[in-house]
Structures are given as structure tokens and as C-alpha cells.
Amino acid sequence: MQTTSITTPDTTPDTKLATGFSRRSVLGSAAAVGGAALGIGALTAGATPARAAGQRTMVNQAFEAHEIVRIGLIGLGNRGSGMARGWADIPGAHVVAVCDIRADRAKRVADDLVARGKTRPKEYGGERGSFKQMLDREELDLVYIATPWEFHYDQARNSMLAGAHVAVELPIATELNELWDLVNTSEMTRKHLLLAENCSYGRNELAMLKMAHEGVFGDITHGAGGYLHDLRALLFNDGYYTDDWRRLWHTRSTASFYPMHGLAPIAAAMDINRGDRAVTLAATATAPRGLADYRERFVPRDHRSWKEEYINGDRISCEITTSGGRTISAEHNVSQPRPYSRINSIEGSRGLFEDYVGGDSTGARVYAEPLHSGDTWRGFKELRQEFDHWLWKELEDDASGSGHGGMDYILQWRLIQTMRAGLVPDIDVYDSAMWCSPVPLSVESLAKKGKPVEIPDFTRGNWRKPRVGLDSRQTEMPPVP
Amino acid sequence: MVAPSFLARAALALTIALGGLLVAPAAITAAAAAETTDATDTVGVTIGAVDLDGPAIVEVPVTVRNQSTAALRTLTVSFRGPVGWQVAPASRSVSGAVKPGAGATVTFSVRVPERRPGFHLRTFTATATYRGGDGAGAAVGTRVERSGEPMADLAAAFNNTGITDESATAAGNFDGAGNSFSAQKLADVGLGRGAEVEALGATLAMPDVAPGTADNVASGGQAVKVSGSGNALVLLGSGSSFSATGTVTVFYTDGTSSTAETGLPNWSFQETDAHGATLVASSVGRNRPDGYGDAAYQYRVFANSVPLTAGKTVDFVVLPTNSALHVFAMGLAG
């Protein structure tokens, strides 16, 4: 396929799965290799590397219009295979290639798409570098990556270098120099990279966003979000996370691995990178108790996990401050018993919104002056209907039955729409880098006994400009030729 | 001339700007807004039109015109939109001096949310601070953009169920805790369904709706048509807090408007003349979610009025933005 020539060396890390990780790097990933090779070195929080010649901002950069979006999928495990149907079902999107290190998965997904009446995609797989073969041989407009976290950075970077836009599952990278390198690569290649943050398209989240912009909550002062999900059974399940990849991250570092599902909607409601900026992060961590306790009670003694030591705290809390005087609490806990929550709460000078509290059928409650009085919570249903995002009004029927309550389909539909219509994406590389920065920054703050560390300005000053983002104006999906 | 104090001049500028609104309650045109700066020997601030067709980022020009006889120096302009609306930057500085008779224009970016149904007034305020010029040190300009049309009558704005039948109390929620007036007990004191009520010189009618349905307006800035003229606008209702107060804005057919503070006492326990109100009737007890109760207490309906500008005909009224202030009826007196 057509490629963009950039004089940065191939930094494909010799990543090892399973227990082969060293704890010498911040998170034990292969990040230091890539960063060093790029000349970025061991970036500390807050440092802003200079732009290379020819590198320009991607702020407000529209996609080039695509009549048809040709998609390649990398990673066809639980998430990737689940999303494959969605991509193929979006009008004007063609899944033309599928890739997994396990070739049988690629065949299975290809078979499934054919069974659903789609053109058979080309299959790639069998080895770690199979995705590169796909990138070399196929003309791709979009690459979707749903592999274990340790592969995201390298695969995303190579996809942009190969000339494709990229949507990456959480997180886009786990090290600061990797995040910067993805920003730089996007700016250099003029290809968008975005976090496939489906929760940014949640119905409650989008209504909350529109209410924040309307001023229902007054001047926003605080928000809280995170990922509180009891994953213990899945983490110890044989096969759910291939080669135990996700559980093994808990043996490598103490870090907020995955707070983005809750952080991203709050950041959007606060217009982070679109008028405000996250400036510091301070992390705390509890002791790691949950996984060992679960293993003790439910996992046979001859299971391989008994060779592991879990060092990640059960709850990692990140307190983020913004340039506008706001605060954000971003939480991560996947190793203790609890009902699911992304917290998703926001408050301001005129009111507040709290999700996951069972207010009514929406699961949320609200209180805002002058609509409400008496210091009594109200259910969210009426206001959600009033502030319902056009994407949900238009796509509710199509999205019903798709993954995660329809958020997956909305994300996929909107991304394809913006690509086909030549619009500015709702989420860009700067949003993605900031939302993922708590992963390395929590490590750095914890190493400093919880002291605040600077959050880089990935926009290099462009955060001051208001931009539309997720609170978009309704537009049509272009007709399929 | 002796320069007026900063506060006096700021107030003057604000008053003049609001005068622009009074003359043109629909979206003020740039020309109309410019009229707010016509006073001589002053520094005036004019805010350009704001396109309310969101969601969008719109650019809003703010012009500071120096009508004084001395140059303006160290000019800084700050800008604010409706509460919660993003404006960037918050302020801009103007380099160099603005000579007498000249002006300086700076531009601000405003995040305009999606246009909402119903009537809305959006207020934008620009404040210029400076040295020199008229010596006041500051000038303020305000622009109010209007969208939507007033509702046809108060009943069209009913959004709260404050009266229920004692046999079916669950639908009520006057106070946010599921409590409501008893329809039977209100009827006992002359406030039954559709009953005429004389209050503060006005003849008002209780809501002519079935108990358990929306029967009052929990005030939230609703704009409601009210036709006629008189000395005062009378509100009949009650409060669901001890601070059920706010500003009523009356718009007249000639395009002008007037504002006044008003309020209604809490439906129980607060002094009956709080906020200048007058007791109309007291009913015994109230309906709770589980049935009639609290019979040891009085739950009251009040009236209060705001003055109207003499000789003008009312076009519509914008209620306060305080949902604790519940209005059952509204009419003109005198």
C-alpha cells in the first residue's frame, strides 16, 4: 500500500508475552526501546519535545473524504472479533483484511463475515509480524487495533506509517515517550490516531456533555470517572485473555492501567484540550489484595498463576488538576468484588450529575438550579431525553443489540461517517494521549510518594482554542456509491 | 468635565446597553447595539451579534469605542457568556493607544450549545478596563440574544403537579419530596378547580385541570404571553423553599421591558408576608405520597405583585429562574 516516508527507524519491540517482562522500565513494557530509538529518551512528565521539521498540528484537521472506508483489523480475540461485525455493518465500510497472531481466529472472523453476506476479507496471521504483512500488502484507510495493551503502540505507529488512520483500543500506549511518539507520528504522517473510546459515546455521557455545554451545571468545577469493574473471574479464566496478558500487567507495575472509560467523558465535558488543559496528576494506590485473595479461594494450587506476585494496587486513584481550576478524580479498580461503575459524575456552580447510582431507568440522578429545588435528587430520564445527542436519536434502533448497550456501534458509525464525509474526528490523537497519560504518570507520581507530576501538553499550546469535538452538529452519512 | 466614578459609569454603560435590549427584545442587531455607545465623551463597549445556531464555535467581536477627548491606554477587554458557556480567551489586551474618536475590536470564541426548544434569553457581557479616556477606568457592554417564542398562556407552561386528590396522592410532587396540596382542602377555602380568586386587585383563576396533573409552573425562566395593561402583574402561588424569589421581566408590546424582584413564602412555616407576599388562603394538611396527612399544619397559597410601566401594554412575561417559586395563576391588576 501507499506509505509515508519518515526517517524514523523501525522500532518494533521484541515484546515478550507472559512472564518474561522486566520491571526495570516504568511499566515493564517494551516502551523504553521505542522511545530511545526515536531520540525521545526517558521523558519525564511535563516535558514537551520539539516538533520535527515538517510536523504540523492535527488540531481541526479533517479526514480526507473516503467514498468507501477500507478497514484492516489487528487482533481478533474477544474484543476484536466482537467489533468485526460492527465495522462490516456500517454503511460504506468494508472490512478488507483481518489479522491475528493466531491464524485460526482470522479465518473464523473471515468466515463469519462471509456468512453475513460480506466480501471475504484477506486473512493474515500465524506470527507476531503478520500485521506488518497486512500493512505492507493492503490499501487500508483505517486500521482498528484490539490486541493486548503491550502491542498497541507499535501496531498503531506502524499503521500510520503505512498510510492508514488508526483506531486503537485502550490504552493507545503505556509509556510517556510512546504517547509522544504517536502524537508526533500522527502529525508527521497527517493520519489520525484515536482511542476507540466507546464510552465517550454513551447515552448518559453524551447527554451530560450537552448539559455541561448548555450551562445546566453552571461553571464546571469537578468531575469523577474511572473503571470499577470486577474482572477477577475473567482475569483468572483460562483463555479469556489470551496468554493471561491482562492479569500479567498486575505483576509488572503499580499503575492506573485503564481509567479512560470514565476519564474521557469527564474530560470532554470539561473541554480538556478544547479550552482547558489537564496540568497535574497525583496518584495514590492501595495495597494489592484482591487478586491474591481471589486466587486463594477459587484457583487450584497447580494453576500457573500461583507463580505470580500481584503488585498493582486494587484501587489506583488519580487526582488531576486543570488550567481552569477544575479537578478530576480518575479511579481504577478491577480486582475487588463490586458492581460495575464508571462513576461518571460532574458538578459545578449550579448543579451536579451522578451516574451509576440507580436514580431511575437511566441509572443516574441529577440536581440543578433553577430546574430543581429542595435539595432532592431527580432521576435523569427527562433531562436525558431533552439533551439526547443526535447520534442516539438517529441510531438508537440500529445500535440496539450491539456491544456495550449500543456504544460500540455509535462509535463505529460516527468514525466511519466522519471519514466518509471528510469531517474533523470527534476524538483526536491529543485527546487520546491525554486520556491515556495516567498510565505512566500514575507510576511516576507513585514513585514520588504521590506528589503531583506535570501532565504534558500534547497539543503544544493548541488546547486554548475551543473546538467542537463530541458535541457535534447533526450531519448525514454520505450515500453508499 | 468631571469624570463620574467608575461604578457610576459602569452602571451607566450597563443601563444604556440594557436600553438597547428594551428597544429591541428580539435579537439586538449590531446597529441597535451600536446605539448603546452613542453617548458622547464616554468610552462605549459594543458586542457583535452572536449566532445561537449551535453546537458550534462562533467568533464574537467586541468593539471599544473611545468617544472621549483623551487616548485610551492599557486597554483590556474581558468577556462572559451565559453561565457555563465556554469563552476563550477570558480577556484580551489591546496594544497601543486608542485615540479619541477611534475604536478597537477584539474577538472572542464562544462555544454555543445546541439550540433548545422554547424561549431563551442569552446574556453576554464585555467589560473594558483602561487608563485615560473618559477617566472612568472601565466600561461595560451587554448584549442579550433571544431565541424562541413565549408560550401562549400559563397553562402551556405547567410543569409541576402541586394539587392531588386525597384518594390518589402519588402523582403529586410540589416540594420535590412527593408532597402536594390536597384538592379537597383547597376547595374548602375557595381554591377549587378553576375557582376565581381576587388578589391584590387582580381576578385570577385557579388551574382548571384535574387533580394529579400538571397544574403550576415551577419557575425556570419560562416566557408566557400575558395581554393587557394595568398597574401590576399579580402572581398566585406558593413556595417550596424559604427562598422562593427571583426576577420577573415584563416585556411590553412597544419592545421595552421592565424587571422587578418578587417572591412567595414557603407553603408552610414561613411568615405569610415574607418577600412582600400576601396570604390568599390556608388549607389544612397536605397530601403525602402515602396519603393525606400533616393535618396539624397549614399549607398556604399566596399572592405577590410586581409593578408595570404605566401606559404600556404587556406582551409577555419571563418568570424567575427559581423552581421553588410555583405559580398557579398570573394576571393583571388595575
Q: Is the pLDDT of residue A34 over 70?
A: no
Contact assignment for B85 to A378 by CB distance below 8 Å: no
- The full DSSP string for B56-113 is EEEEEEEEEEE-SSS-EEEEEEEEE-STT--EESSEEEE-S-B-TT-EEEEEEEEEEP
- Which of helix, strand or coil describes residue B123? strand
Considering the entire predicted model, what is its pTM? 0.83
> Measured at the alpha carbon of residue A327, what is the angle toward residues A322 and A330, in degrees to the nearest 5?
110
Per-residue pLDDT reduced to its tens digit, A255-274: 999 999 999 999 999 999 99
Which chain B residues contact residue A464 at CB under 8 A?
88-89
CA B115 to chain centre: 19
DSSP run (H or E) holding A460: none
Q: Is the pLDDT of residue A9 over 50?
A: no
A contact set with B (CB within 8 A)? 210, 212-220, 271, 275, 348-350, 369-376, 378, 386, 464-468, 471-473
Question: What is the number of residues in chain B?
Answer: 334
B301 burial type by CB count under 10 A (0-12 exposed, 13-18 middle, 19+ buried): buried
3-class DSSP state of B11: helix
Residue pointed to by grid coordinates 457583535: B48
Q: Nearest by CB to B84, from A348, A386, A467: name it.
A: A348
Per-residue pLDDT of B32-88, as tens digits, reads 233 344 456 899 999 999 999 999 999 999 999 999 999 999 999 999 999 999 999
Q: Which of A186, A177, A193 is nearest to A57 (CA)?
A: A186
pLDDT band at A8 (very low <50, low <70, confident <90, very high): very low
Q: Which residue in A214, A378, A466 is closest to B84 by CB distance?
A: A214
Round to whole Å and give the CA distance between B86 and A468.
Answer: 11
Pick from B83, B86, B175: CB nearest A466: B86
Average pLDDT, chain A: 91
Q: Which cell numbers in the block locate residue B31? A: 446597529
Domain map of chain A by residue range?
Answer: 18-199, 200-391+430-464
Query: Over the stretch A399-430, which tens digit does the pLDDT of each residue have?
Result: 988 889 999 999 999 999 999 999 999 999 99
- For residue A10, pLDDT beyond 90: no
Q: What percent of chain B has pLDDT over 70?
A: 88
* Mean pLDDT (chain B, rounded): 89
The Cα–Cα gap between A82 and B294 comes to 58
**CATH superfamily of this structure's domain A200-391+430-464:** Dihydrodipicolinate Reductase; domain 2 (3.30.360.10)
The C-alpha atoms of residue A106 and residue A219 are separated, in whole angstroms, by 49
Closest chain B CA to residue A368: B323
Cα A330 from Cα A327, distance rounded (Å): 10
Nearest by Cα to B145 from B112, B171, B172, B177: B112
> Are the CB atoms for B153 and B316 separated by under 8 Å?
no
pLDDT score, position A373: 79
| ipTM of this predicted structure | 0.89
Q: Which of B55, B83, B176 sits opposite A373 (nearest CB)?
A: B176
Q: Rounded to 5 degrees, what angle do the CA atoms A199, A200, A202 make?
A: 60
Does the beta-carbon distance from B84 to A217 stay under 8 Å? yes
Q: Does residue B269 sit at the A interface (CB-CB below 8 Å)?
A: no
| A337-361 residue pLDDT tens | 999 999 999 999 999 999 999 989 9
pLDDT computed for residue B288 by the predictor: 98
| Domains, chain B | 6-147 (2.60.40.10), 154-333 (no CATH)
Contact A182, A172 (CB under 8 A): yes
Q: Which stretch of DSSP H or E encloses residue B149? A: none
Q: Which fold is adopted by the domain A18-199?
A: Rossmann fold (3.40.50)
Residues of B in contact with A212 (CB under 8 A): 84
Chain B nearest-CA residue for A377: B176
Let me know: does B161 contact B155? Beta carbons within 8 Å. Answer: no
Residues of A in contact with B89 (CB under 8 A): 464
The answer to whether residues A311 and A285 touch, using CB atoms and an 8 Å cutoff, is no
pLDDT digits (tens, 9 = 90+) for B179-233: 999 999 999 999 999 999 999 999 999 999 999 999 999 999 899 999 999 999 9
* Chain B residues in contact with A223 (beta carbon < 8 A): none
Find where cell 496478558 sits: A245
User: Which residues in chain A are contacts of B84 at CB distance < 8 A?
Assistant: 212-220, 348-350
* B240 lies within 8 A of chain A by CB: yes
Interface of B with A in 200-239 (CB under 8 A): 218-221
Residue B129, CB-side half-sphere exposure with 13 Å CA sphere:
7
Pairs across A and B, CB distance < 8 A = 94
